[in-house]
């Protein structure tokens, strides 16, 4: 998947989850609502056994359908002997795994006036959809801001 395709896919998934969550609240009219998703994908490689991996490459650890950790190739080139990477890969110039998180912002303008309670419901549904349908894992609290 190219970077542009990853960006488009992520934005579509987030937008779909958000709009579905918003219109699920009784009485909410999404007509005139403008929503913008701010997200940028990272280039993360799959782990391949027995193939040279260039220095600086980030190798992802897939857990529950999402990349939760990454390991960097610290030498000019390295070769993985197992996937997922083991602690012995450190000697081969790969790793250690580090926690991997991404920041995502969804902004809404126009046509939406909700109580704090209803925004909390939107947020809860939004998180559920992203988690269950798109395997997003949340590592910190998701916040509602009225800026």
The predicted-structure confidence for 77-131, as pLDDT tens digits, reads as follows 888 888 887 766 666 788 888 888 888 888 887 767 788 898 889 899 999 998 8
Domain parsing of the chain, residue ranges: 3-40+103-134, 52-99
* Residue in 4, 82, 12, 93 with CA at minimum distance from that of residue 47: 82
What is the mean predicted confidence (pLDDT) over 8-20? 87
45 in Cβ contact with 57 (< 8 Å)? yes
CA distance 16 to 106: 12
At 145, list the tokens: 């801001």
| pLDDT score for 111 | 66
Going by C-alpha positions, the residue among 39, 11, 33, 18 that lies closest to residue 121 is 18
- Orientation angle between helical segments 3-23 and 116-134, nearest 10 degrees: 140
Residue range 58-66: mean pLDDT, rounded: 82
DSSP conformational letter for 10: H
| Ranges 9-13, 15-19, 51-55, 106-110: which has the least confidence | 106-110
When pLDDT is cut at 50, 70 and 90, the band that residue 146 belongs to is: low
pLDDT, averaged across the chain: 83
């Amino acid at each position: 998947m190219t970077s542009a395709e990853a960006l488009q896919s992520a934005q579509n998934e987030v937008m779909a989850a958000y709009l579905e969550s918003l219109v699920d609240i009784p009485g909410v009219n999404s007509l005139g609502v403008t929503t913008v998703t701010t997200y940028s994908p990272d280039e993360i490689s799959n782990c391949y056994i027995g193939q040279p991996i260039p220095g600086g490459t980030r190798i992802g650890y897939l857990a529950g359908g999402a990349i939760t950790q990454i390991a960097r190739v610290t030498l000019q080139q390295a070769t993985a002997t197992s996937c997922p990477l083991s602690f012995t890969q450190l000697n081969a110039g790969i790793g250690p795994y580090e926690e991997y998180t991404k920041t995502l912002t969804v902004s809404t303008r126009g046509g939406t006036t909700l109580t704090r309670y209803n925004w909390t419901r939107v947020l809860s549904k939004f998180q559920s959809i992203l988690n269950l349908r798109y395997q997003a894992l949340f590592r910190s609290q998701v916040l509602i801001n009225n800026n």
